[in-house]
Structure 1
Amino acid sequence: MLRNYLKIAWRNLLKNKLYSIINIFGLAIGLTCFLLISLYVVDELSYDRYLKDAARIYRIHSDIKFGGTEMKMALSSDPFGPTLKKDYPEVEQYVRLFAQNSRRFIRKGNEFLVENNCVNADSTFFEVFPLHVLEGDGKTALNAPNTVAISKSVAKKYFGDGPAVGKILSTGVNNPQEYKVTAVYEDIPQNSHLRTNIIFSFKNVDYTFGNFLSHNFYTYVKLKEGVDYKQFEKKFDGFINKYILPQAKAFIDIKSMDEFKKAGNYIQYSLMPLLDIHLKSNKLYEFGVNGNIEYVYIFSIVALFLLLIACINFMNLSTARSANRAKEVGIRKVLGTERNSLIRQFMAESILTSYLAFGIALVFTTALLPYFNQIAGKEFTPTTIYQPAYLPFLLALPLGVGALAGYYPSFFLSSFKPIEVLKSKLNANFKRSNFRNALVTFQFVTSLVLVISTFIIYRQLNYIQHKNLGFSKDQVLVVTGTSSLGENNRVFKEEVKKMAGVKAGAFAGYLPVANSSRSDNTYSKTAVIDVKNGFNMQNWVIDEEYIPTLGMEIIKGRNFSKAFGADSSSIIINEETAKMLGYDDPVGKNLYAGTGNASETSTLTIIGVVKNFHYSSMRENVGPLCFRYGRSGWDMAFKINTSESQQLVKQIEGKWKQLSTGMPFNYHFLDDSFNEMYQAEQRVGTIALIFAILTIFIACLGLFGLITYIAEQRTKEIGVRKVLGASLWSIVGLLSKDFLKLVGIAFLIAAPLAYYAMNTWLEDFAFRVEIPWWIFVAAGVATMLLAFLTVSFQSIKAALMNPVKSLKSE
């Protein structure tokens, strides 16, 4: 029986080639998009799930507001973890990671290689994160100072294929330090927020320990089985009063935490589940670039809607062409065929179409993977799709899609009454279908929402790219790792500045882009810091050439200068700080920096005010910031003015090789680093654009099929109208107007939906564009025009047909 169903289904597909191609190709596009986005969504949701007991691991977050300045950090203080383990039995284990020196220079033979994402960790690292240890003992690997655990790929890079445990890893250029390899662990998977390849012993951290008010460590805790982390969080208030308040009293003039809160301040700690970090954490000093759960939801919905639109095309064409199958159904029923048998026949046709489309979709998906990886920032391969865990899904998907697409047509076609069919009383009812109209409207609602959203996303990205940032990001070359030059780093800077095409150069360890160095300190308008006048502020160390090199503007006072010996006790503030202090002219006024003792502060004189500049993402407001005079020499920035930038880079690299001792030359352009801050938005914009094009294409493909069928059904009517003198455009209007009405209705539904969605998305940005009315009009007109072109193409073809021929064939 099944064989017979499939044979008849195949014959019907061959008989109606045009409609079969439209159905199969439309479904294939929908399935391709669905497969690609499914890969993305599954990968995003899988982060850190490879770890045993991942559901019991949490990271401690710190949210602090002091003097109007807020800091929401993925960091905590160094004593936090050990104290929790000591005082609270709910904590099974903790580990601290120190990543301020995450970039290390590792010697390999006579040269040095740069390794990023290096950390120092407690000896408990492998207890909290039970990675698979290939060599050595993870429990004791980091017990002693000058020990290091490395990943399998790092071991192979530096020691070849032989054993690595017991060998020496040498780091540093000017002050080399040797570490004994005590463990080799399996490479951490791509789907992990913690991508570290080299873990040094925590006992090598050069730090003044014991300060609860200094937040510089990633602290993870593993709670015991059955502990509710939300209930455990409630104990942090007692923890603050017991440990943090006493140290705060020595730092600022404060009597109680209630007094601290009444002044509008707060200090809060929370636990972030390990499995939520990648998609739900967006704190300062994240370990890396995280994803966004909102984008996962958006991509999932869009992929599902694309698939639905493709299924809707199948439903529309199947029901629209029902008149052609009506007599077949009527004769079968007269001959005794039961309705269930007819339903199975039509479902077999739908499922066969779905599997044919799915086969094409697999080919498309495999071919498009490299391009999708570039857009989504992933590393999928064909083996990712065909791994055994996905096979049940791959086999069930076309079955489910075929059943979904064929469900309504099967029941609709099998419901015909034989007498009415054989007396040809059905044709009049096929011309109009409210259900079919609703499906077409749904297709264009989805298309219009995506088109409007794409316009607004690109408008916001264009705004970010061209807004006055308060500094110049274009043609700024950043050379990293310049501290490795030692005393030659000043020579290197001066030599590069002499090159043709280089306008200026500065030590630039601090830069106004993500993943650059950050530092903050507590300041006050008075010599005694208390809860009313104290505030936290970003504290950057720069030289006298930094401001002109980055194109910043001094609006009051002056820049740092070697001519002023007292500039070491001077400070330059931004406009936001001046506003917070309430000074019309702050130049010459004093600020007082905290030293760790409430009654002892260092006095700093304000010598200038720099115009506000965006030193973090535009999702955040510009906060208070000050410059201190000094040399942050681990990076350098050079303002260049040449069209031959690559030739200049080679020239700078040549100078580097003369002054360095085997160190690799690393550089990037500041505008590239700036763009990286908005990679997620750029990806969303690109994917939204692609999906918008595809949804409109599939919807128009369905329109093309429908108008082709309707033109066939109305051949005699068109012939009669032409004989009676109807013009070409009146016939085109006759065939097109109903579909264009549906697009108009879709616009009225889509416009408010798109406005709400995009207004919600823009709320994540402190600096954002307004949503203009013309974007909605432009999207509506463009979609209406495209739909009209699709419909009119076939309408004109039908209207141009010779009426004599159409009436004779009728």
Structure 2
Amino acid sequence: MFKNYFIIAWRSLKKNRLVSFINVLGLALGVATCVVISLYVTEEFSYDRFFTNSDRIYRVTLDAKIGEQTLSEASVMAPVAETFKEEIPDVEISTRVLNIHSNTKVRIGEKVIRKGNTAFVDPNFFEVFDLPFISGDPATALSKPNTVVLTQEQATAVFGNENPINQAINLEGIGYYTSKYIDFSGDYTVTGVIENIPENSHFDFAMLASMLGNPDAKNQSWLSGNYITYLLLNDGSTADQVEAKFPAITRKYMEDQMKQGMGMDFDEFFEKGNHVFLKLQSLTDIHLNNQFAGKGDFKAGGDFQTVLIYCAIAVFMLLIACINFMNLSTAGASQRAKEIGVRKVMGSGRQDLVFQFLSESLIAVCIAMVLGILMAKLALPFFNNFADKSLSLVYLIQPVVLISLLTLVVLVTLMAGGYPAFFLSAFRPIESLKKKISRSNRSGFRSSLVVFQFAVSVVLIIGTIVVSQQMNYIQNKDLGYDKEQLIVLRDAGLLGEHLDVFRDKLKADRRIKNVTKSAYIPSGPTDTNSQNLVMDESSSGTLRMIQFGIDEEYIPTMGMDLIAGRNFSLDLGSEESNIIINQTAARALGIEDDPIGQVFEKMTDNQGGREDVKVVGVVKDFVARSLREPIKPLMMVYNPYYSLILKAEKSELDPLLADMESSWNSFNTGEAFHYAFLDELYNETYIQEAKMGSFLTVLSLMTIFVACLGLFGLVTFTAEQRIKEIGIRKVLGSSVNQIVGMLAKDFIKLVSISLIIAFPAGYFFMDMWLENFAYHIDIAWWIYALAAGMTLVIAFGTICLRSVKAALMNPVDSLKSE
């Protein structure tokens, strides 16, 4: 019996090929989109959950306000970990990580490689983070100074197939932390090898060295620090309970140092509008909370808002596809009234008809589901390349996912096949044969679904245009410097004693306009901006400032404008006690009218040391980080660093780069030549927004396509339903244009209603997205006009594609006997 149901169902689908094709294709696209986005979202939410105690691990973060500046950082002071362990019974273990922000040079005998990041960690690190050991003992691996644990990939790169345990390696590198550069070069003993850290972790390092070899780890300053600190809480302890104890402990240990370093006690500090709080952040929240990007995080994280947007898009895309399927299924079912009557006269019971219609719906849904998964498999490599992921359909094998897919099949089958199965099958044969079946309620329901479909499509179109306009604004905004034709040599310091010779060669090249010895670039995810405190005794305030270490060539190389004072110049003697500030800093310090020659005190270390610095110049405000945040007070100090930035002539870039590489290789250091263009680094700063714009473009095209598939099917259904009316109108003299207008009128009304709903929704969501940028476009009226025009043109074109065919039919064929 069941076999017969499916045979008849298959014949029915083949009989109505066009509607069946539209049904299956639309639902398949929805399933494919939902599958791909679901894989992405699931992977984003899986970060760091593979650790056994992930639900009990928290990171200590800093939230502070000093003067007009707010600080939000993932790193805290060195003594915080030990102090919290001693003072708070709820803390089972505390451990620290000190990120070295550097690809370390590894030397073993004559072999030299530079691969992977290095971090110092406390010996108890593996008690908190149970990374699987391939060899070595996690309990003792880092219990001695100058010991190191390698990842499997790093061990293979250094030692090949040899056993690395107890072998010596030499590390060469300089790390920046605690407001100074630390040389951690030396001999280290390999005491362990761990499995490669999974991609879905916020950690990103290849070597873990013992913190016992870092002299700064015993620093007792509570005023500054770059130590990423984790707490493992006891079972039953909550983050709120532990965090509530932080203020008293912070005051206990910070107040005396604040008096010495800032000249004020804790109460006075807060009374002046300042604050400093330590907070807890759940380990599993780190990846999707990007407020600490570039402020202590190991690598760029995700974005919770973006993930939610993708989730919403996946749900809406699937809904649109399901709506299409239901619309066309229910619309077509009412045309089968006579079939139902004949079947009942021939002896079919209501149960038989229910199974028949549900089986037709089930076959179509299953075909669409299989086709959708195949589409997802084909699209996944492109999406992985686009999103820089390595997602796989293997995830679909999990029981929860299989149950979800099965549930989706059942729901869509019931929703699409329910109307003909349970409603039409209940009519008496005489009503069915006379086609006395009311369609008004179902027609109203279908109309509301069409409005919903196009409203979602219009919101996505608005989002695509807004993101595109914001990216165009980012590309063309005056940044306060010239990012074009600037070549950045981050690793120039690897030349060692040959660096100055290499720089002089570059300066002598006629194709190079300027060369500066500095690592500070105002763009890109790799910038290394540091911060210091400037003391302003006259106004009783402190001002947190970004600090750039530069030389006398930096400002002309970057194309920045000095609006007051002078640039650094070694012809005038030592510049170490002089600073150049930006306009924002001058305003914040209250010296905007007369900045040159003003003297302030700058904190030089964590123990309250100070030195006088004098303002010798003011540079025009420039975007020092990104357009997501407002321009902040900044000072430039004379402190050249071992990186080079050069301004080149546009016409001779390729031969220049080849000659630079040849010159670099002539020093025989064994280091590879790497370069980057500043404008490319600038674009990388907004790579997430650029990807979102591209993704929205694809999805908006897909949603409008699926919505139009449904519209095409409904126009086909309407035209067939009104075939006699069209014939009579043609006999009475109606033109093709009049008939097309008659068929299109009702659908254009529905699309217009969707615009009214979509405009406020689009404005709400995109205005909320634009709030992520301190500098952004205004959503202009023409964006809505363009979205409306595109939607109406596409919808009308879809309607005409089918209605013109109906209008051109011969009236004789339309009016002949059924």
Same fold (TM over 0.5): yes
Aligned-residue offset at 1:450: 0.6
The residue type paired with residue 622 of structure 2 is F
> Contact (CA 8 Å) 1:456, 1:758: kept in 2 or not?
yes
Matched, 1:258 2:267: yes
> Contact (CA 8 Å) 2:100, 2:117: kept in 1 or not?
no
1:238 aligns with 248
Aligned-residue offset at 1:676: 1.8
What pairs up with 1:255-294 in 2 under 5 angstroms? 255=265, 257-283=266-292, 284-294=295-305
The residue type paired with residue 449 of structure 1 is V
What pairs up with 1:197-346 in 2 under 5 angstroms? 197-207=206-216, 209-255=219-265, 257-283=266-292, 284-346=295-357
Cα distance in 1 for residues equivalent to 2:489 and 2:748: 58
Cα distance in 1 for residues equivalent to 2:110 and 2:356: 74
Local SS of the residue matching 1:659? coil
The residue type paired with residue 576 of structure 1 is T
What pairs up with 1:85-96 in 2 under 5 angstroms? 85-96=85-96
Aligned-residue offset at 1:346: 1.7
Cα distance in 1 for residues equivalent to 2:315 and 2:417: 17
Comparing 410-419 with 676-685, which one deviates more in the overlay?
410-419
Where do 5+ consecutive residues of structure 1 fail to align? none
Aligned-residue offset at 1:181: 0.8
Aligned-residue offset at 1:600: 6.1
Superposed CA offset, 1:214-273 (max 9, x none): 121111111111101111101111111110111111101113x22211101000110000
Relative to structure 1, is the Cα distance of residues 296 and 344 closer, same or farther in structure 2, using a 3 angstrom cutoff?
A: farther
Superposed CA offset, 1:171-210 (max 9, x none): 2179852211101011111111112221111123253711
> Contact (CA 8 Å) 1:22, 1:705: kept in 2 or not?
yes
The residue type paired with residue 77 of structure 1 is M
Relative to structure 1, is the Cα distance of residues 387 and 666 closer, same or farther in structure 2, using a 3 angstrom cutoff?
A: farther
Cα distance in 2 for residues equivalent to 1:389 and 1:113: 44
1:115 aligns with 115
Relative to structure 1, is the Cα distance of residues 554 and 604 closer, same or farther in structure 2, using a 3 angstrom cutoff?
A: same
Aligned-residue offset at 1:443: 0.4
The counterpart of 1:750, out of the listed 750, 755, 758, is: 758
The residue type paired with residue 735 of structure 1 is L
Cα distance in 2 for residues equivalent to 1:667 and 1:337: 77
Local SS of the residue matching 1:243? helix
The residue type paired with residue 495 of structure 1 is K
1:140 aligns with 140
Relative to structure 1, is the Cα distance of residues 253 and 544 closer, same or farther in structure 2, using a 3 angstrom cutoff?
A: same
Cα distance in 2 for residues equivalent to 1:206 and 1:659: 34
Superposed CA offset, 1:427-446 (max 9, x none): x7479710010011110011
> Contact (CA 8 Å) 1:477, 1:639: kept in 2 or not?
yes
The residue type paired with residue 635 of structure 2 is C
Aligned-residue offset at 1:726: 0.6
Q: How many residues align?
A: 804
Cα distance in 2 for residues equivalent to 1:460 and 1:119: 37
Local SS of the residue matching 2:226? strand
2:361 aligns with 350
Matched, 1:517 2:528: yes
The counterpart of 2:203, out of the listed 188, 194, 198, is: 194
Cα distance in 1 for residues equivalent to 2:758 and 2:380: 31
1:552 aligns with 560
1:54 aligns with 54
> Contact (CA 8 Å) 1:521, 1:593: kept in 2 or not?
yes
Comparing 447-456 with 518-527, which one deviates more in the overlay?
518-527
What pairs up with 1:779-790 in 2 under 5 angstroms? 779-790=787-798
Matched, 1:406 2:395: no
Relative to structure 1, is the Cα distance of residues 645 and 382 closer, same or farther in structure 2, using a 3 angstrom cutoff?
A: farther
The residue type paired with residue 203 of structure 1 is L
What pairs up with 1:364-379 in 2 under 5 angstroms? 364-379=375-390
Aligned-residue offset at 1:807: 2.5
Cα distance in 1 for residues equivalent to 2:790 and 2:268: 60
Local SS of the residue matching 1:563? helix
1:806 aligns with 814
1:569 aligns with 577
Local SS of the residue matching 2:102? coil
Aligned-residue offset at 1:3: 2.3
Aligned-residue offset at 1:376: 1.9
Superposed CA offset, 1:559-613 (max 9, x none): 1112110422111000100011122120111121124599863111111101111
Matched, 1:669 2:680: no
Normalised by the size of structure 2, how large is the TM-score?
0.95
The residue type paired with residue 425 of structure 2 is S
2:177 aligns with none
> Contact (CA 8 Å) 1:171, 1:178: kept in 2 or not?
yes
> Contact (CA 8 Å) 2:354, 2:422: kept in 1 or not?
yes
The counterpart of 1:485, out of the listed 483, 495, 519, is: 495
> Contact (CA 8 Å) 1:253, 1:598: kept in 2 or not?
no
Cα distance in 2 for residues equivalent to 1:335 and 1:718: 34
Q: Give the share of equivalent positions with the same residue, in percent.
A: 42
Aligned-residue offset at 1:392: 4.5
The counterpart of 1:601, out of the listed 610, 627, 635, is: 610
What pairs up with 1:376-775 in 2 under 5 angstroms? 376-386=387-397, 390-426=401-437, 429=439, 433-513=443-523, 514-526=525-537, 532-583=540-591, 584-595=593-604, 601-633=610-642, 635-775=643-783
Cα distance in 2 for residues equivalent to 1:698 and 1:109: 63
Cα distance in 2 for residues equivalent to 1:117 and 1:652: 26
The residue type paired with residue 478 of structure 2 is N
Local SS of the residue matching 1:481? helix
Question: C-alpha root-mean-square deviation of aligned residues, in Å?
Answer: 2.1
> Contact (CA 8 Å) 1:510, 1:516: kept in 2 or not?
yes
Relative to structure 1, is the Cα distance of residues 393 and 151 closer, same or farther in structure 2, using a 3 angstrom cutoff?
A: farther
Cα distance in 1 for residues equivalent to 2:287 and 2:298: 10
Matched, 1:34 2:34: yes
The residue type paired with residue 306 of structure 2 is Y
Cα distance in 2 for residues equivalent to 1:122 and 1:626: 34
Superposed CA offset, 1:406-460 (max 9, x none): 344533433434322112323x747971001001111001101111111111111
Relative to structure 1, is the Cα distance of residues 643 and 808 closer, same or farther in structure 2, using a 3 angstrom cutoff?
A: farther
Relative to structure 1, is the Cα distance of residues 716 and 404 closer, same or farther in structure 2, using a 3 angstrom cutoff?
A: closer
> Contact (CA 8 Å) 2:580, 2:637: kept in 1 or not?
yes
The residue type paired with residue 191 of structure 1 is N
Cα distance in 2 for residues equivalent to 1:774 and 1:304: 28
> Contact (CA 8 Å) 2:91, 2:234: kept in 1 or not?
yes
The residue type paired with residue 475 of structure 1 is Q
The residue type paired with residue 621 of structure 2 is N
Relative to structure 1, is the Cα distance of residues 571 and 334 closer, same or farther in structure 2, using a 3 angstrom cutoff?
A: same
Superposed CA offset, 1:688-730 (max 9, x none): 1111100100000011111112212222211211111111111
Aligned-residue offset at 1:312: 0.9
Cα distance in 2 for residues equivalent to 1:289 and 1:458: 23
Normalised by the size of structure 1, how large is the TM-score?
0.95
The residue type paired with residue 626 of structure 1 is M
The residue type paired with residue 350 of structure 1 is S
> Contact (CA 8 Å) 2:221, 2:607: kept in 1 or not?
no
> Contact (CA 8 Å) 1:320, 1:430: kept in 2 or not?
no
Relative to structure 1, is the Cα distance of residues 772 and 182 closer, same or farther in structure 2, using a 3 angstrom cutoff?
A: same
Local SS of the residue matching 1:134? strand
Aligned-residue offset at 1:385: 4.6
Comparing 7-16 with 741-750, which one deviates more in the overlay?
7-16
> Contact (CA 8 Å) 1:315, 1:408: kept in 2 or not?
no
The residue type paired with residue 649 of structure 2 is N
The residue type paired with residue 243 of structure 1 is Y
Cα distance in 2 for residues equivalent to 1:122 and 1:372: 39
Comparing 371-380 with 783-792, which one deviates more in the overlay?
371-380
> Contact (CA 8 Å) 2:460, 2:700: kept in 1 or not?
yes
Cα distance in 2 for residues equivalent to 1:778 and 1:137: 64
